[in-house]
Amino acid sequence: MSSEEKKAFLLLKSVIFDYHGRDEDEQQILNDTVAELDAKNEWQWVEEFIAEDYYDAFDRSRNYLGSVMNGLEKKTRIYFLENVHDSNGQKGYISEMEAIAMITFARDWDIENEFIEIIKR
């Protein structure tokens, strides 16, 4: 995974977890992901991106991720969103707000039907 892809993946996961306020379980999942990807620099970029304007981070993320994701293969876009969905399941629940946010990204990236099938599983 390239540095740009790591940034996009971590931003996606973080902005979904931040949608209702990040808790300890979510922070641990993010820490584990950063370690797995060896992405400390990319994580720092994500933290700065979100901190720039926390309240507008979701909309800014949609703009940023739209430009990155549209350059990636469809299977990669699906993988990223499926992984975030699975990470939400790891913590034991997926809030309605998180589900709506993920569906919004799926719609933005033209993978809504595929993502709905993932959710149905």
Model confidence over 66-106: pLDDT tens digits?
Answer: 999 989 999 999 999 999 999 988 888 888 888 899 999 99
Give residue 15's domain range: 3-120
Domain count, the chain: 1
Q: What is the DSSP letter of 72?
A: S
pLDDT, tens only, 29-68: 999 999 999 999 999 999 999 999 988 999 999 999 999 9
Planar angle of CA 22, 121, 110, nearest 5 degrees? 75
pLDDT at 119: 85
Cβ-based neighbour number of residue 4 at 10 Å: 12
pLDDT at 22: 82
Q: What is the DSSP letter of 55?
A: G
- State if pTM tops 0.85: yes
Cβ-based neighbour number of residue 67 at 10 Å: 9
